[in-house]
Amino acid sequence: MAGLFGKENRPQPRHTMTRYITHISLAPAASMGQLTLGPDGHTAALDTKGAQWHTVPTTGLAAMEVNDEVADGRHTCSAKLTATLCGRYTPLAGPVAVLLTCADGTRLLLGTGERPMPAVTLADTLPDKAAERSAQTITVSYPSRPLALMGS
């Protein structure tokens, strides 16, 4: 039996990385092109022919936090994207895939047309003061690691 300071009682490392996003597109998961995973399982090649990508109109940079941690002997990774929209946006119905372009030019994919699927929510931000502008915020939560697209 392990004591108070046994291995299972030590805090496990948690890593959070923020990526800044310049472009967001959504497509119905059913329209996804052929996706070929790389040997590491974290990269992929995507044939975008036939995919019905819709640009999400954002203002400024979006931010995506990727959390990577080990808890209770399990490794988990998740991503959460938040962006302020310019104008009103009507989300696509049904499961979606999300294609992101980072500020450094890297392209990332949230969702592959199979489980797990990204969850997309929209919220209205109402200002405290009449002089401030209201806005709509989109949040995309994904319970897995984003795939880096090869050739980006």
**Whole-angstrom Cα distance, residue 152 to residue 150?**
5
User: For 45-57, how does the pLDDT look when each residue is reduced to its tens digit (9 = 90+)?
Assistant: 877 677 788 999 9
pLDDT at 93: 85
pLDDT at 12: 55
User: For 46-96, how does the pLDDT look when each residue is reduced to its tens digit (9 = 90+)?
Assistant: 776 777 889 999 999 999 999 988 878 888 899 999 999 988 888 788 899
Query: In the chain, pLDDT over 70 holds for what percent of residues?
Result: 88
Is beta strand 135-142 parallel, antiparallel or unpaired with respect to 54-55?
unpaired
pLDDT at 48: 67
**Whole-angstrom Cα distance, residue 57 to residue 61?**
11
pLDDT at 89: 82
Its pTM stands at 0.81
pLDDT at 13: 61
Phi, psi (degrees; rounded to nearest 5) at 26 = -120, 145
Among 5-14, 86-95, 124-133, the minimum mean pLDDT is found in 5-14
* Distance in Å from the first CA to the final CA of the chain: 50
Phi, psi (degrees; rounded to nearest 5) at 143 = -85, 40
Of 6 and 82, the one with more pLDDT: 82
- Write the CB contacts of 88 (distance below 8 Å, at least 6 apart in sequence): 136
